[in-house]
Structure 1
């Protein structure tokens, strides 16, 4: 029997609550739904007024994964959608998650949430700039932190303030609030900075996507600023063996991580150096961090923190 629950006056059928989705930790679908109910107040501002793309993994990360922009079959009439015309489908629409009921409906489908850098009310006009720092082995998160600090200073020189979050995989994302700017201009500026970073840190950075160029370097992916591209939404769970979250981190944590460059594996006694593994944030880490820090990405919503793209 499928449990029925009521969320903000909407009746939801929640299915397969005992199904294990993250096998390493034994995390069940019911626990995933509880996570989203708990973090609803902080994830919803990052979802509202942005068309959502879903990476669905209904049988866990080892099962079938499929990416969809279209509203899934059976989407309730009360879930908001917005027009997002595409060349292959000029009448296409996408889901917009506006409230807790819609969030829990989507979470029951078992999804990663991905959103663009613009709002549905202003298509292709970005209010965020993003860099996805993706390490090519043997490079790792320590190298990403070094690159993040470089980009932070470079952005600051142009009057732009960056905020960091884990990707939920191997790397970091930098998010920068900007005065609403056409996506092509933001994309061009982001590419300029990625090219500059490669010139400044040639043994550490590549701005090109080619796998052959990425070994031992951090790929500064600027392409997600294109209007058609999306990035993992802050606080979304990722389809990984562990229930990792794409969650904000402090610059102090990034600095402490970067300081481990060249030191090898850290020890684990009193006074030990920062352990880069601390930047792998799991579902259970988020509530305590919210109690400690609140939403570290809240400044993204403060108009006075947004800078003009040069």
Structure 2
């Protein structure tokens, strides 16, 4: 069968065994959501999280472009610790569907674009629960997410919110690509440190899970060169096939981190305006916010 002009081999291969979701279903999902998703992928290098035999089995991250990829899949050269390397860039529906054909369930994007790889155009705070029982931590994660958004807004920055499709939320600030990753991450750390000072029983910057207790991690490490984030509408390799979904701030108390899925996203898109519409028009620099901080 073909989806968006891409031949899907073994379309009946089950990628989500508990849900019966096949490679064909994944390809059709990405083809259908491409118009919404591509603006968040365009010009960004991609790390591919691939599951050849479905979730729960062997998987791997692939950064370098495989030799068998067709010429029509765009690539960009990036600098790595091992020297220059070419990575995939997804600019059109066909390339996005081709990733699904390769059993790439989740593409992970850089926070910068090809034109200025060393200067991010977004800042991300990742609010992640520490306890294994995410349901009991949900109220804490939501409170932590709200505090993070308010702190950034108080500094004069415009914030956007999305579910991760996993256990937490991302607070995203669109930036003008003026500063390097080191400067942006230092700013993110300063904001996170201020939050932890205010709410030490709720929040932590401790990377080691054993040292977090039941506090919510304010993860700022994604704001580094070559680091990646799950983009809007990407599918996560978890039962139910949840997706990372942009939500409005007033939905934080109602939408769980993994509530939006392949199965129900279409109804959501039909019923609601895009909460991230016009996002780039609100991109800002960090100089004034840094002074306020």
TM normalised by structure 1 equals 0.87
Displacement after TM superposition at 1:224 (Å): 0.2
Moved more, 290-299 or 161-170: 290-299
Matched with 2:261 is 282
Count of equivalent residues:
282
Matched with 1:100 is 93
1:160 aligned residue (141, 157, 161): 157
Note the alpha carbon deviations across 1:19-69, whole angstroms, 9 max, x for none.
Answer: 221122221221111111110101111111000111111211111110111
- Poorly superposed stretches of 4+, deviation over 6 Å: none
CA distance in 2, matches of 1:217, 1:178: 29
| Alpha carbons 2:175, 2:284 under 8 Å: kept | yes
Displacement after TM superposition at 1:292 (Å): 2.2
| Alpha carbons 1:97, 1:103 under 8 Å: kept | yes
| Alpha carbons 1:133, 1:144 under 8 Å: kept | yes
| Alpha carbons 2:3, 2:31 under 8 Å: kept | no
| Alpha carbons 1:159, 1:308 under 8 Å: kept | no
- 2:119 is the alignment partner of 1:140: no
| Alpha carbons 1:44, 1:98 under 8 Å: kept | yes
Displacement after TM superposition at 1:294 (Å): 3.4
| Alpha carbons 2:166, 2:257 under 8 Å: kept | no
Note the alpha carbon deviations across 1:125-162, whole angstroms, 9 max, x for none.
Answer: 11100011110115523211111111111111111111
- 2:286 is the alignment partner of 1:293: no
CA distance in 1, matches of 2:200, 2:260: 29
Identify unmatched segments of 5+ residues in structure 2. Answer: none
Matching of residues 117-128 of structure 1 within 5 Å: 117-128=111-122
| Alpha carbons 1:206, 1:213 under 8 Å: kept | no
CA distance in 2, matches of 1:87, 1:278: 34
CA distance in 2, matches of 1:122, 1:128: 12
Matching of residues 17-166 of structure 1 within 5 Å: 17-88=11-82, 90-111=83-104, 112-137=106-131, 138=133, 140-166=137-163
Displacement after TM superposition at 1:298 (Å): 2.6
2:170 aligned residue (167, 170, 173): 173
Note the alpha carbon deviations across 1:276-306, whole angstroms, 9 max, x for none.
Answer: 648521112211221222332233332xx11
Displacement after TM superposition at 1:249 (Å): 1.5
- 2:8 is the alignment partner of 1:14: yes
| Alpha carbons 2:167, 2:257 under 8 Å: kept | no
TM normalised by structure 2 equals 0.91
CA distance in 1, matches of 2:271, 2:162: 16
Matched with 2:222 is 224
CA distance in 1, matches of 2:277, 2:141: 23
| Alpha carbons 2:11, 2:22 under 8 Å: kept | yes
SS at match of 2:263: helix
| Alpha carbons 1:23, 1:242 under 8 Å: kept | no
Summarize the Cα distance change of 1:36–1:6 in structure 2 as closer, same or farther, 3 Å threshold.
closer
CA distance in 2, matches of 1:297, 1:164: 8
SS at match of 1:144: helix
